[in-house]
Structure 1
């Protein structure tokens, strides 16, 4: 069974690369097809494990799926078998994918019941479902937790969900998306304050509005949703994946490469380019492309008072937590020091032990903070054998391996394949020495 990458580092890469469709948007957008019996056509779908598994789940539930191409898919949820949700097969498969939680809002709104499995996916710390469940409760749903199957069973009240005001305990992206999808078919008006406003969420709201939903405040943390009786089909094109774009910026800097990221949708990247700029990475915007020139070195900036730079994650429009692993590995070969503060997930920095084995100078202060002392390439990283603990750490280790001297072997690459399509093939097209073994 293919489960490892063999990488020989030290090559300078060169060329153009097109980012895939956004993984985090895909899991929301594809779940939303359950809200209508009409045909929904989605384009720029990433061909990755998590997304393909969700599409399989929809087909299992009775959604008609026509994969026009690997990037375009037609869905029609006009014959959903709601009883299948109670089957052992559904519980087993949905439990493998955290993204399956996004089916709950649409199912609850349109069919009156849903199931949420115990979260699967990355091993990066606790990922609470409280925001989802409490939001559904505010809309009038009841729930029972089955300790045997680790499942939440949700049911709408007689007469359907009812609009209300709610202040979210945290601006959870998936929690907000799930509540929005439930609220669009609820009776009356729902107001969500402290809502997430990431581009993924904006895309979902724009898609739902094109289907006939009435959502105001898109792009802000205050959403007002006037419920409608039904939604129609639509066509929707997904954004490029901002996390992949950030990964490629970091890859170019680490490997001293000249790379152009095509069709990057720069206006939707927010503060991401600026944060990589704080590490000293030069970038040029050419239309909607990002060109990263080859740099022999890059230097971490200090704050204006001379203190050491801190890069931390924040809800949008702050810096996304999914790119902190990339920033951390890129900083190992910069000149200067930086404190990485991962606030949201308490286990996401534990992969730094592999970087330390490769020769990086990192102090893991606690589960949330790590100090990186940049070596300025005076001591290149060395290749080792390691294992990928989650999607983002896996790509960070891959970037480290591509910049290291000698051969690296990365096991458990199923984690990387969950979030990055054909990553080895696309990197080889840039000149990387990488193969599956």
Structure 2
């Protein structure tokens, strides 16, 4: 196993789909030197450790404080937090709150930390982890303890300091977010103005105004929803050069998307797990003395392997790889051991009874239906494409009936259709006839 150099500990944000890889690569909680820094997708806050900055922390268990539980405009698209994890208040020397962190936002595997009791993450109740264990398994407790910041459990949130930074959340999880709300608002407003102008106005000027309001608002809606989603996906940061890669060696049929996309990479200080659906998870590598992955446990049930769990020093599961889809085609474990050796991770057998949900198989390796895609945050939902199809179709038919002859009217509708409907149809066909084919 290669030598490992210690790096500054850090907590990455929870996993994100392709359109939000940028959030995942920017956000994080780090301790460098004597400063604790919280980075979100849009801002950075940093405090000294000790009496002059973060002197303690209060964990509000089992629920969220009013500041964290109140969803403002900026929280649209950021996902629903797991209230079981509570929130963590960073406090100054007087006990006043400097900032609030929702614990579940900073768990790489998702809203609930995973243990070896449920390594595959299926059928895990949100209250499966006790509130105290939630903070420990998330890594926050060890991160703060290592730097001399005591953490106490609290039944009420501490009073906010004068410089209270509010609730710091990593960033959006889906592609729509606040811009989608703006898009809908302008669409409704423009149509209301259009009816007012059309009802009271007359002549060529009023007709041109109706044409532009109708088609222009539809184009803006398409650009702020579908267009923005595809742009975020196209510009998503792919990460640096990998020092080691582990790709699936399946012994069962899998989809082409799983075969071509799924990969576990060692990149710099992190491990990156990418799924067939382009969901990316950042794990801290073994160089992180607090939160890094230490071992790859080959889970055996009476001598038969059924999975590989990547665990940290707390035995919290940071990633789970199904044996039949990832390692079944490499029974000698040569690829797994080569990757672990290059990444500095120990490989050990671990006897564990096969979980009752393991029989359902690897969800990411099977053929996905429209319902599966709707259950996750991928690009933009189908209703956007169908609404644009209805709006553009209705407007073109209505314009032809009403005698609209403005070139911009038909150009804007054509662009809205091209932005919102054509890519959606192409993507659906690509998924059906290419990505979701079993190989």
- Same fold at TM > 0.5: no
TM-score by length of 2: 0.28
Greater percentage in helix: 2
**TM-score, normalization: structure 1?**
0.28
